[in-house]
A and B are shown apart, each in its own frame.
Chain A
Amino acid sequence: MIEAHLPALQVVLPLLAAPLCVVLRNGTAAWALTLATSWAALAVAVALLVKVLADGPISYELGNWLAPWGIEYKIDAVNAFILVVVAAIGAIVVPYAYASVRAEIEEERIYLFYCMYLLTLTGLLGIVITGDAFNIFVFLEISSLSTYVLVGLGRDRRALTAAYQYLIMGTIGATFILIGIGLLYMMTGTLNIADLAKRVPPLAGNRTVLAAFGFITVGASLKLALFPLHHWLPNAYAYAPSTVSAFLAGTATKVSLYILIRFIFTVFGASFAFKTLPLDIVLSVLAVLAMFVSSTVAIFQRDIKRLLAYSSIAQIGYMILGISFASVTGVAASLLHIFNHALMKGGLFLALGCVMLRLGSVRIEDMHGLGRTMPVTMAAFVIGGLSLIGIPLTAGFISKWYLVLAALESGRWYFAVLIVLSSLLAVIYVWRIIEVAYFRPAPRSEAAEPVREAPASMLIPMWVLIGANIYFGVETSASVGVARQAAAMLLGSGP
């Protein structure tokens, strides 16, 4: 009986748990509830993925109102894949959060942190699972507002300005998406995505539809931090609590990328976006700029969280580049990178959180000799860094491989060269950290207790993500298979 209602449960479980955290009021009880809920959400997401891969797309009508009049949850290979990514990061970060949140946020506010965390998870899962355009906007705002609060809970007072800037830019982005959805509704009279997919392509030359496309693309680009609309991201990731940075790095921008993919490929259709309009040129130019400019800026950062934030902007550039090829391999490479990047960046931010816990700072000048004092953490960091560069045997290599393959397949070999060159930039900023951690002597600590390794409750989740990097770098059939199937479905040549 539960199986029939899995799509609804995916969103309802965290939604019910969030106010329960407020009722419970105790930090530890709230953490336990969050742990149980996020693991249950992961179980539901995996069950949905298995079901979709076996039986094909699932449809669930809310309130028993038939689509296209009612709100429908439509799950196909793309949705299910991204649901698993979001739910997995959401589940792995919670055991880690026990110690990290306790150290970074005041005791009286911890239950509120977990309430916001669950609301963010609800919103993100809801965006991915829903098949109704306006529902996407509603869940987008739910997740965004809770994210602003999570970012603002950071210790540094600059977390407040970072959260404020994120709020302003994020709300503009979401309002643009709202305008786009409104214009589409005006032209077609429906909000259901499957129905829009039938009614919008025949209207391709219409000026309102063109305007809607523009608004939705720009709005989604603001939320996914596509260069040059990325200014909110470095501050938000740098000053947020470590758990929040790790959670957001793997989920928030990727879900906005999903919104862009869904609208471009399902609603408007690849031929409208890439043949009628020069979206492929615009996206590929911006993606290459993101890759090079952000990687270069990352090299000069002294705050390592900021460095990883700029690196994230560059990685989003890779994902957008994959989409701009508009081929099955290209879109599959993007979807694959969504998964692999969540593993990489999640693991790296978790490692930084361990450093923050023990050192109280993540500036590069404070990290001298960390390779000796915190060997387990820095080893994880090294592997994450190698994955970021794209060394063979890591997950990062697989994504870059498919991106290069897509570039060569579409005849644009110069993009393959650019991808390799920007990976070299990544070598520089990863090497900076490794050099400081391993090849400089640790400072004589005047503090009473010497720097030790982080607690196991933080090390284990971190190593789960980093280990997954290596696992999915070697055993690629699962991730690549699902990504290919999803991409084929998006481009209309699959089930």
Chain B
Amino acid sequence: MDVLDRVLGLYNYWIVIVLMMVGFYVVMASRNLIKKIIGLSIFQTSVFLLYISVGKVRGGSAPILDKAIETYSNPLPHVLILTAIVVGVATTALGLAFVVRIKEAYGTTEEDEIHKQDERSD
């Protein structure tokens, strides 16, 4: 049952890997600027899952102090990821702001057409 253990027991890592690769692929392969930002967001989310899923302690509850509970999950990854989520939100907001301005300046959000317009003006 070692193979099953590897696949089912480590399911959180598999999900992280799938999401990371999906996000990374969307960023690199998309020609549309907004889709790239979506891919970036998926990529960052996979990292959050990685941190939080390894912070779970077997038999531990949520890391909120309570007299009745003895084992807690590790609170540090939660705090780290809160910060990382805020960073991710700021990045997405900034990226979309750039897309809005690019759309106004170029008239399109497709990377190829922007490239063509730039080459013509060079």
A positions within 8 Å CB-CB of B: 134, 137-138, 141, 145, 148-149, 152, 157-158, 160-161, 163-164, 167-168, 171-172, 175, 178-179, 182, 185-186, 191
Docked Cα-Cα span, A160 to B84, in Å, equals 25
- Which residues of the other chain, A, contact B91 by a CB distance below 8 angstroms? 141, 145, 167, 171
Residues of B within 8 A of A164 (CB): 33, 95, 98-99, 102
> Taking A141-B87, A145-B90, A175-B47 as contacts, is the C-beta distance between A167 and B98 under 8 angstroms?
yes
Please classify the interface of chain A as helix (H, G, I), strand (E, B), loop, or mixed, using the class held by over half of its residues: helix
Please report B residues at the A interface, Cβ cutoff 8 Å.
24, 27, 33, 36-37, 40, 43-44, 47, 50-51, 54, 76-77, 80, 83-84, 87, 90-91, 94-95, 98-99, 101-102, 105-106, 114, 118
Residue in chain A with minimal CB distance to B83: A138
Of chain A, the residue at the smallest CB distance from B114 is A161
Given A158-B118, A175-B43: A163 and B98 interface contact (C-beta under 8 Å): yes
* Contact pick for B50, options A137, A141, A148, A182, CB 8 Å: A182
Task: Determine whether the beta carbon of B27 is less than 8 Å from that of A179.
Answer: no
Closest beta carbon of chain B to A398's beta carbon, Å: 38
A163 shortest CB reach to chain B, Å:
6
Main secondary structure of the interface of B (DSSP, over half): helix
CA gap between A186 and B102 in the complex, in Å: 41
Given A134-B80, A167-B94, A175-B43, A157:B106 Cβ within 8 A: yes
Give 8 CB contacts A-B under 8 Å: A138-B87, A148-B94, A157-B105, A158-B118, A164-B33, A164-B99, A182-B50, A186-B54
In the assembled complex, the Cα of A138 lies from the Cα of B82 at a distance in Å of 11
Q: What distance in Å separates the Cβ of B110 from its nearest Cβ neighbour in chain A?
A: 12
Residue among A137, A164, A182, A186 with max Cβ neighbours from chain B (10 Å): A164
The winner among A137, A172, A175, A178 for most chain B CB atoms within 10 A is A175
Which 6 pairs from chain A and chain B are nearest by CB? A157-B105, A164-B98, A141-B87, A160-B102, A182-B51, A160-B101
Q: In the complex, which of the residues B27, B37, B90, B102 has the most CB atoms of chain A within 10 Å of its own CB atom?
A: B102
**CB <8 Å contact, A168 and B84:** no
Q: Smallest Cβ distance from B15 to chain A, in angstroms?
A: 15
Distance in Å: Cβ of B84 to nearest Cβ of chain A: 6
* Contact in complex: B43, A172 (CB < 8 Å): yes
A160 and B98 contact, Cβ closer than 8 Å, known pairs A168-B27, A178-B84: yes
Which residues of chain B have C-beta atoms less than 8 A from A178's C-beta? 47, 84
B47 touches A179 (CB 8 A): yes
**Which A residues lie within 8 Å of B90 (CB)?**
141, 145
Contact B106–A145 (Cβ < 8 Å): no
Tell me, in angstroms, the Cα distance from A178 to B106 when the chains sit together: 34
Residues of the A chain whose Cβ atoms lie less than 8 Å from the Cβ of B99: 164
A69 to chain B: closest residue by CB: B76
Question: Roughly how many angstroms separate A157 CA and B101 CA in the complex, as a whole number?
Answer: 9
Chain A residues within 8 Å of B95, by CB? 164, 167-168
Q: Which residues of A contact B44 (CB under 8 A)?
A: 171, 175
Q: In the docked arrangement, what's the CA distance between A172 and B39, Å?
A: 11
- CB contact between B40 and one of A157, A158, A161, A171 (< 8 Å): that residue: A171
Query: What is the CB-to-nearest-CB distance from A303 to chain B, in angstroms, rounded to a whole number?
Result: 9
Nearest opposing residue in chain B for A179, CB measure: B47
Give Cα distance in the complex from A138 to B90, angstroms. 12
Complex alpha-carbon distance, A141 and B40, angstroms: 15
CA distance A171 to B84 in the complex (A): 12
Taking CB atoms, residues of chain B closer than 8 Å to A185 are: 77
- From B51, which residue of chain A is reached at the shortest CB distance? A182
